[in-house]
Amino acid sequence: DVKVTQSSRYLVKRTGEKVFLECVQDMDHENMFWYRQDPGLGLRLIYFSYDVKMKEKGDIPEGYSVSREKKERFSLILESASTNQTSMYLCASSLWRQGITYEQYFGPGTRLTVT
């Protein structure tokens, strides 16, 4: 079974702090994704990465950055946390092959509260 793990289930940070959310997948997937989930808004893509050191912006990248130094690990960074970044953050991964769409596998999520 594919396993996607996230470093924390719950996190409380103060406004202005730098926050790191870590995600690790164990199935050698090329693609990795970071979403935020808010009530009534569904899942919104922040960033995704299709290879080591490669990244693309999603729909809401402002205030976030990412890092992928190893294939299995994808980090989301909040450079200066703000209260409007209080949310559930979900990491996902998927295979990639030219012309084929694969389902995404999700981690358990990190519920971040910024006070």
**Footprint on this chain of another protein (rule: CB under 8 A):** 4, 9, 31, 35, 40-45, 48, 50, 56, 90, 92, 94, 96, 99-109
Shortest reach from residue 16's CB to another protein, in Å:
28
Residue 53 phi/psi, 5° resolution? 65, 5
And the tokens for 46? 């922040």
Shortest reach from residue 91's CB to another protein, in Å:
8
Question: How far is it, in rounded angstroms, from Cα 58 to Cα 45?
Answer: 5
Output 43 or 77, the one with its CB closest to another protein.
43
Shortest reach from residue 81's CB to another protein, in Å:
22
Residues 6+ apart with CB under 8 A from 95: 27, 29, 30, 31, 102
Question: How far is it, in rounded angstroms, from Cα 78 to Cα 101?
Answer: 30
Output 69 or 103, the one with its CB closest to another protein.
103
Output 17 or 25, the one with its CB closest to another protein.
25
Residues 6+ apart with CB under 8 A from 15: 81, 82, 83, 114, 115
Output 84 or 101, the one with its CB closest to another protein.
101
Shortest reach from residue 5's CB to another protein, in Å:
10
